[in-house]
Structure 1
Amino acid sequence: MSSAMDVGMTLPVMEPDIAPDVLREWAERIDAGPYSSVCFGERIAFDNPDALTLLGAVAAWTRRVRIGTTVVVPQLHDPVLLAKALATGDQLSGGRLSVGLGVGGREEDYAAVSADWSNRTMAEMAERAGVLRRVWSGDNLTGATRPVGPRTVQPGGPELLVGTLGHRTVRHAARWADGVAGMTLSADVDETGALFDVARSAWTEGGRPAPRLTTSFWFALAETAPEPRGQVHQHLRHYMNWLPPALVDALAPTAGFAGTLDELRALLDRFAAIGTDEVQLIPTSDDPRQVDLVAELVG
């Protein structure tokens, strides 16, 4: 596999009844290397751990890898409180935080926290990203006796990546994002390459530095699952609970990656060839053996 591309691993936070000691074991194994990042995303109306609380734990469980939120939906949070929580995570991790922001696709998550579904817009996300940056730069937005802290370790705060599959969203985000936190439903290299080309063009047209280009996809290994495609299907039946089961069943046969380590190596090489900076693998079971097997492949 190309050494120019990093590989991160996502914690199995969307698995049913995930135990804290399992999450800690995964985080520590990922931190042992050679992974570039440990990642996790956000959902509200689900049984996963809260992403911002977990951020503090992962910062304490790890010493080396970057920590990626893939993704947080700023419209579900008060932006100043979100800025404070993320600044705390950056400080606790010693400046290892990378923040993915997306508008989200589940109306029930918005309803669960009484957030306005009509705010699910690119303009609203951009505005809230601006609030994060202003808080992290020390601006006193609240009129209080002191600005909202703590200070971030990374000057100006963590990098902000736009979490999306859409070309239009990527073009809009070129105004504020440092790069792309992509996701490909079917581990499609050509589709991802097209998205990255849009990003490169949009950042260039905006006079911005070259964007950081990352993507992610679900995976299941034949070495740890007797039926890897069935494992992906079972995972999606749990994770995609907001969709009709028939729709999930139709998606499952081509979703993510299901195969051997050698086949995964070949796929990662193809992602490296299109200039991907990092692939973040999303597990479809909580078996920690996957961490070690992929580590051998990456290393």
Structure 2
Amino acid sequence: MNVGIGLPIGEPATLLTWAESADAGPFSTLGLLDRLVYDNPEPLVALAVLAGATSRIRVQTEVLLAPLRDTALLAKQAATLDRMTGGRLVLGLGIGGRDHDHQVTGIDMRTRGRRLDEQMAVLRRLWSGTPYGDGVGPIGPPPARPGGPEVLFGGFRPAALERVARWGDGFLAAAPPSWAGGLFDIVRTFWREYGRDGEPRVVAQVNVALGPQDVIDDARSRMHDYYAFTGTADRMVAGLLTTPTGIRDAIAAFADLGADEVMLYCYGVDPHQVDRLADAL
């Protein structure tokens, strides 16, 4: 079971410390959330900086809101980062659910799923070296991974789960073990229906905070603010894991469900959590 670190978004200047500690530890991946109308670092820019400060750990968007971005530019940015990191980029994509993020980019929320499907057709074509069309292109550089960086999709609705099989390499599950297993089964069913070889890669997400009470309180406060728009922030904060035993049990539960990796997402900004999590593992 691979275990990654989901980076906090509250103090961008500390993320180099987080990344260097994680790269020296047992962790497989650095993940970063995405929002536009929020005080968070832009994930592709931030992960490019962190990739340059590390040597082996993967960098992962979780999830990048692709419909908010220009498709050709996103193809070039992702290919560049994948090429310059030697294939360490994992592109987690989703459609987002916050009105303001779409409002400021002029994207109609009602069509964001359809837009993502259209974007994926273009991204896959450009990453394969095919011209954009109408005598334009190709758009380089070629990514390190043939066909483009690994693409994972997040989401819960059937259309999002089907998208994993149609366009992706795997599934990002921001759900507890109690109901993530059903999502895994649906994704695997779609995978077989599309005649895909092997199995989809499954990455789970667990929200955690380890440390003294002020670290835990900070994490709860920041997590509540981040998810306030959902109306269910209290319930989500209540699920924050704050003990080594609770974290190990969650990882074991996801392993039993066949997950390939668990991302331990941190909202508290204390970078010493990396070492505490390493010790907990």
* 2:261 maps to 1:278: yes
State the match for 1:169 in structure 2.
160
Hey, what does 1:46 align to over in structure 2? 38
Residue 289 (structure 1) aligns with: 272
Please give the alpha-carbon distance, in whole angstroms, between the structure 2 residues aligned to 1:46 and 1:108.
9
Q: % of aligned pairs identical?
A: 36
| Corresponding residue to 1:158 among 137, 145, 149 | 149
Counterpart pick for 2:240 among 253, 256, 263: 256
Task: Kindly state the Cα deviation for residue 165 of structure 1 after the two structures are TM-superposed.
Answer: 2.7
State the alpha-carbon separation in 2 of the partners of residues 293 and 97 from structure 1.
26
Paired letter, 2:191: W
Q: CA deviation at 1:133?
A: 1.0
Distance (whole Å) between structure 2 residues aligned to residue 225 and residue 215 of structure 1: 26
Aligned CA distance change for structure 1 residues 166 and 272 (closer, same or farther; 3 Å): same
Q: Secondary structure at the match of 1:203?
A: helix
Shift of 1:47: 0.9
Contact 1:75 1:119 in 2 (8 A): no
How far the C-alpha of 1:171 sits from its partner, in A, is 2.5
Query: In structure 1, what is the Cα distance between the partners aligned to 2:59 and 2:31?
Result: 6
**Of residues 213, 229, 232 in structure 2, which corresponds to 1:242?**
229
* Alignment partner, residue 95 of structure 1: 87
> Do the aligned residues in 1 keep the contact of 2:51 with 2:59 (CA within 8 Å)?
yes
Unmatched runs of 5 consecutive residues or more in structure 2 = none
Q: Name 2:220's counterpart in structure 1.
A: 233
Q: 1:130 to 1:146 in 2, by over 3 A?
A: closer
The answer to whether structure 1 residue 181 and structure 2 residue 166 are counterparts is no
Map Cα deviations across residues 68-118 of structure 1 (whole Å, 9 max, x no partner). Answer: 111111110111000001111111211111111111111110112222222
Q: Deviations over 1:27-83 (max 9, x none)?
A: 111111210101112110011111121132122011101111111111101110000
Secondary structure of the corresponding residue to residue 67 of structure 2: helix
Distance 1:266 1:272, change over 3 A: same
Q: TM-score, normalised by structure 1?
A: 0.87
Quick check: 1:133–1:156 contact (8 Å CA) kept in 2? yes
Please tell me whether the aligned partners of residues 223 and 237 of structure 2 are also in contact (alpha carbons under 8 angstroms). no
Whole-angstrom distance in 1 between the partners of 2:154 and 2:111: 16
Asked whether 1:265 is paired with 2:248, we answer: yes
Q: CA RMSD in A?
A: 1.9
1:240–1:263: structure 2 CA closer, same or farther, 3 Å change rule?
Answer: closer
Cα distance 1:214–1:94, how it changes in 2: closer, same or farther (>3 A)? same
Offset at residue 199 of structure 1 (A): 1.1
TM-score by length of 2: 0.93
What displacement does 1:189 show? 0.8
The aligned residue for residue 217 of structure 1 is: 206
Distance 1:288 1:139, change over 3 A: same
2:81 matched to 1:85? Answer: no
Tell whether 2:173 aligns with 1:200: no
Unaligned runs of 5+ in 1: none
SS of the equivalent of 2:25 reads: coil
User: Structure 1 residues 178 and 31 mapped into 2: Cα distance closer, same or farther (>3 Å)?
Assistant: same
Q: How does 1:96-111 map to 2 (within 5 A)?
A: 96-111=88-103
Does the aligned pair in 2 maintain the 1:218–1:232 contact within 8 Å?
no
